[in-house]
Amino acid sequence: MRPVFWMLAFVGFVFLYAPIVVLVVYSFNASELVTVWGGFSLRWYGALFSDAQIGQAFRLSLLIAATSATLAVVLGTMTALALVRIGGFWGRPILAGMATAPLVMPEVITGLSLLLLFVAMERTVGWPAGRGIATVILAHSVFCLAYVAVVVQSRLLGLEESLEEAAADLGARPYEVMRDVTLPLIAPALAAGWLLAFTLSLDDVVVASFVSGPGASTLPMVIFSKVRLGVSPDVNALATLIIVAVALGLIGALILVRRQR
Amino acid sequence: MTDPGAKAADPNLPLGAGDVGETRPFVRLDRVVKRFGGFVAVNGVTLDIARGELFCLLGGSGCGKSTLLRMLAGFEHPDSGRIEIDGQTMAGVPAYARPTNMMFQSYALFPHMSVARNVGYGLVREGVARAEIGQRVEEMLRLVRLETFGDRRPHQLSGGQRQRVALARALIKRPKLLLLDEPLGALDAKLREETQFELRALQARRGVTFIVVTHDQVEAMTLASRIGVMEAGEIRQIGAPRAVYEQPQSRFVAGFLGSVNLFEGTVDVAAPDLMRIRTPGGGFVVPPASGLSARQPVALAVRPEKMRIAAGAAQADNALQAVVEERAYLGDRTMFKLRLNDGTVLKVLSAAAEAGVLAVEPEAAVDGGGAAADGGGLTA
């Protein structure tokens, strides 16, 4: 029973992680050819850091990820509060559905619908003028909001409501209850939601491709276009770095969610 | 909106069970109704509570007692009816502006604040100066004997200590009205007893009006100066613990407070000085009860501790022939289960010291009798 279990587990992990391991190993490849091992080297990391296009895309991606994660946390928290704390209100089912729709909606559709919206808005109200950083940030905020709302909602549901009542009972006005009790207690969920949103934004390529404009290519978009011209080894190095960043973000989010208990 | 006769009463007025001298009640509930969807949680409760009273709302779960308390605190709002506290209507007054403080059943201590910050929170929100807050928190912690625990977090405390922190936090703003939701529910037996007497002492010393919600009749009896027994959103009976226990006005109240032997029967004679009731198990002579006339069906409630067991057969009023079925030794008392000839099972509680009673073995035929003065007729 035990050896069988370990064998199955091993096969499973190989299935899941072998591609990533191969990619990480080949990022340290000295050879020019992606599929031929030529000894250990950090040359592709060096090439990566001297590549101005990638550097610029990286900084842009960080900016977009941080901004949209912050926006998503604000909006997602408000959504979660409305859904959990205000019992039944008109349109609650619609809000609940719309808030979680991006979780199940194909990204292609999210991207396409946002593109159509931005174009239509530009025509009618003149904003946003063209597509670029702002439209990517807006689009990412929208689909990250859903994830934040889910994380914060579960935290709020686990929060004893009498804590907020106790604060009100002791003389705290609604905004003071929010500031002194609710927000400090859901802070781990906010941080977890922010990290989650940050990593989601950082590795999104589909939605960004739809709503981005010239001169505003995010890192995944740059990688994607490079790979289309043939895989070059510096992309392996870049991918490794992204994997590390995303893994750290996810582990951080996990730890924060766990610590809530 | 305000009662024209309302004037701020002196908060340091003498205390104790239901101030008789004061004419205007301190808390007044007038036909208060609260529904949740189709469920009527509180169904037209009218209740006056005097300043300095320790009033206990007693009832099973779902009887509406907690909803009533939450409406006083301002967490729920009545669908109809009026709530007045100290002469002021509470309609439209939010929880944070009410002269009440509540001790929650779960204590609801803020887990991210130290004990001292928990206790001082009410004063911070009131805008009290820092130095004074520190001083009053210290004083409060001393009162609940937790002066060395100020820096701890709630999760580092035992249940009893948490309960005292919650009490200190609710008392620090010197509320006119303190609401306690099952204050002793989470404590073990010994701590409960201690805290019960502490609460009473505190109430007498501070002169706060207490409203306690509980499902525990022992808690209600020891704490309260008056008890309101609730069932299905309505108050069934209000009175001093002794009155509610000794003269229950309905089967529900009789059964809810302590155990009781019920005899179904009919009124035989309703004379001005006594009443004779016939039941299948035997006849009873009891003090007259108003509103009962001959041939009316009644139930007679007799507390187990008001009955005595005697060996042998006697033909007298208030004496019943029975067989001892079971005997349970409870230390200070012994509980007997007796079966009457017609199959009714009775409970009789005897003080252990009572000579001879302990010797009664199961299957022995005995007389169990309710003393005439202690029986009570119930119509409900």
Radius of gyration of chain B (CA): 25
List of residues 6+ apart from B168 with CB closer than 8 A: B119, B140, B141, B143, B144, B146
Chain B residues with CB within 8 Å of chain A CB = 73-75, 94-97, 100-102, 104-106, 108-112, 121-122, 125-126, 169, 173
How far from each other are the two terminal CA atoms of chain B, in whole angstroms? Answer: 38
Please list every residue in chain A whose beta carbon sits closer than 8 Å to the beta carbon of residue B133. none
- State the average pLDDT over residues B120-145: 91
Q: How near does any CA of chain A get to the CA of B90, in Å?
A: 14
Residue B256 reports pLDDT greater than 90: no
Question: Which one-letter DSSP state was computed for residue B182?
Answer: S
Instruction: Report pLDDT for B352.
Output: 59
Count other Cβ atoms within 10 Å, centred on residue B321: 16
Please list every residue in chain A whose beta carbon sits closer than 8 Å to the beta carbon of residue B111. 163, 185
Hey, what amino acid is at A122?
A: E
What count of Cα atoms within 13 Å lies in the side-chain half-sphere of residue A180?
24
Hey, what amino acid is at B98?
A: R
Please list every residue in chain B whose beta carbon sits closer than 8 Å to the beta carbon of residue A181. 110
How confident is the model over A187-204, as pLDDT tens digits?
Answer: 989 999 999 999 999 889
How confident is the model over A165-175, as pLDDT tens digits?
Answer: 999 999 999 99
- Name the nearest CA neighbour of B300 among B319, B317, B286, B311: B286
Residue contact B96–A171, C-beta within 8 A: yes
Mutate to test the interface with B, among A160, A161, A170 (most CBs of B within 10 A): A170
Whole-number Å distance between alpha carbons of B304 and A251: 65
Count other Cβ atoms within 10 Å, centred on residue A175: 8
What residues form DSSP beta bridges with B102? B179
Mutate to test the interface with A, among B71, B76, B112 (most CBs of A within 10 A): B112
Hey, what amino acid is at B214?
A: T
Instruction: Report pLDDT for A128.
Output: 83
User: How does residue A55 score in pLDDT terms, banded at 50, 70 and 90?
Assistant: confident
Question: Which one-letter DSSP state was computed for residue B250?
Answer: S
Please list every residue in chain A whose beta carbon sits closer than 8 Å to the beta carbon of residue B125. 167, 170-172, 176
Residue contact B111–A185, C-beta within 8 A: yes
- Name the nearest CA neighbour of B163 among B106, B225, B119, B235: B106
Hey, what amino acid is at B306?
A: K
Residue contact B106–A176, C-beta within 8 A: no
Hey, what amino acid is at B83?
A: I
Mean pLDDT of chain A: 89
Residue B3 reports pLDDT greater than 50: no
Instruction: Report pLDDT for B355.
Output: 47
Q: Which residue of A has its CA nearest to B118?
A: A167
> A residues 132-161 near B, CB within 8 Å?
160
Contact B130, B162 (CB under 8 A): no
Range scoring the smallest mean pLDDT among A147-151, B164-168, B363-367:
B363-367
What residues form DSSP beta bridges with B300? B263, B377
Give DSSP secondary structure letters for A23-60. HHHHHTB-SSSTTS---B--HHHHHHHT-HHHHHHHHH
Give DSSP secondary structure letters for chain A. -HHHHHHHHHHHHHHHHHHHHHHHHHHTB-SSSTTS---B--HHHHHHHT-HHHHHHHHHHHHHHHHHHHHHHHHHHHHHHHHHHS-S-TTHHHHHHHHHHHHHS-HHHHHHHHHHHHHHHHHHT--S-SSSHHHHHHHHHHHHHHHHHHHHHHHHHHS-HHHHHHHHHTT--HHHHIIIIIHHHHHHHHHHHHHHHHHHHHT--HHHHHH--TT---HHHHHHHHHHT---HHHHHHHHHHHHHHHHHHHHHHHHHHHT-
ipTM: 0.78
Residue contact B108–A168, C-beta within 8 A: no
Whole-number Å distance between alpha carbons of B343 and A152: 62
A259 contacts chain B (CB < 8 A): no
Please list every residue in chain B whose beta carbon sits closer than 8 Å to the beta carbon of residue A184. 112
User: How does residue B13 score in pLDDT terms, banded at 50, 70 and 90?
Assistant: very low
- Name the nearest CA neighbour of B49 among B78, B77, B70, B29: B29
Residue B27 reports pLDDT greater than 80: yes
Please list every residue in chain A whose beta carbon sits closer than 8 Å to the beta carbon of residue B104. 162, 165-166
What count of Cα atoms within 13 Å lies in the side-chain half-sphere of residue A143?
31
Instruction: Report pLDDT for B314.
Output: 57
Residue contact A181–B106, C-beta within 8 A: no
How confident is the model over B152-196, as pLDDT tens digits?
Answer: 999 999 888 898 899 899 989 888 899 999 887 766 777 777 777
Mutate to test the interface with A, among B96, B109, B117 (most CBs of A within 10 A): B96
CA A174 to chain centre: 31
Instruction: Report pLDDT for B282.
Output: 74
Instruction: Report pLDDT for A130.
Output: 81
Alpha helices in chain B (DSSP H): 65-73, 115-126, 130-143, 159-171, 189-206, 217-223, 241-246, 251-256
> What is the sign, positive or negative, of the torsion defined by CA atoms of A118, A120, A122, A126?
negative
Contact B299, B317 (CB under 8 A): no
Residue contact A171–B106, C-beta within 8 A: no
- State the average pLDDT over residues B260-271: 80
CB pairs under 8 A between A and B: 61
Count other Cβ atoms within 10 Å, centred on residue B368: 26
Q: Which two tokens stand for residue A6?
A: 């370990």
Residue contact A170–B104, C-beta within 8 A: no
Contact B237, B231 (CB under 8 A): no
How confident is the model over A87-102, as pLDDT tens digits?
Answer: 778 888 888 888 888 8
Instruction: Report pLDDT for B195.
Output: 75
Residue contact B100–A167, C-beta within 8 A: no
Residue A243 reports pLDDT greater than 80: yes
Residue contact A162–B95, C-beta within 8 A: no
User: How does residue A143 score in pLDDT terms, banded at 50, 70 and 90?
Assistant: confident
Whole-number Å distance between alpha carbons of B174 and B93: 19
Burial of A73 (0-12, 13-18, 19+ CB in 10 A): buried
Residue A250 reports pLDDT greater than 60: yes
- State the average pLDDT over residues B353-367: 52
The percentage of chain B sitting over the pLDDT mark of 70, rounded to a whole number, equals 83
How confident is the model over B291-309, as pLDDT tens digits?
Answer: 777 777 887 788 888 877 7
Residue contact B73–A173, C-beta within 8 A: no
Domains of chain A (ranges, CATH numbers): 54-230 (1.10.3720.10)
Instruction: Report pLDDT for A81.
Output: 92
Instruction: Report pLDDT for B4.
Output: 40
Residue contact A170–B101, C-beta within 8 A: yes
Q: Give the nearest partner residue to A162 out of B96, B108, B121, using CB atoms.
A: B108
A6-35 CB burial, b ≥16 within 10 A, e <16: eeeeeeeeeeeeeeeeeebebbbbeeeeee
Contact B231, B87 (CB under 8 A): no
List of residues 6+ apart from B300 with CB closer than 8 A: B262, B263, B265, B277, B279, B284, B286, B370, B375, B376, B377, B378
Residue contact B169–A185, C-beta within 8 A: no
Residue B365 reports pLDDT greater than 60: no
Residue B5 reports pLDDT greater than 90: no
Q: Give the nearest partner residue to A169 out of B101, B111, B112, using CB atoms.
A: B101
Residue contact B108–A160, C-beta within 8 A: yes
A126 contacts chain B (CB < 8 A): no
> A residues 158-187 near B, CB within 8 Å?
160, 162-163, 165-173, 176, 180-181, 184-185
Mean pLDDT of chain B: 80
Name the more confident of B289 and B125.
B125
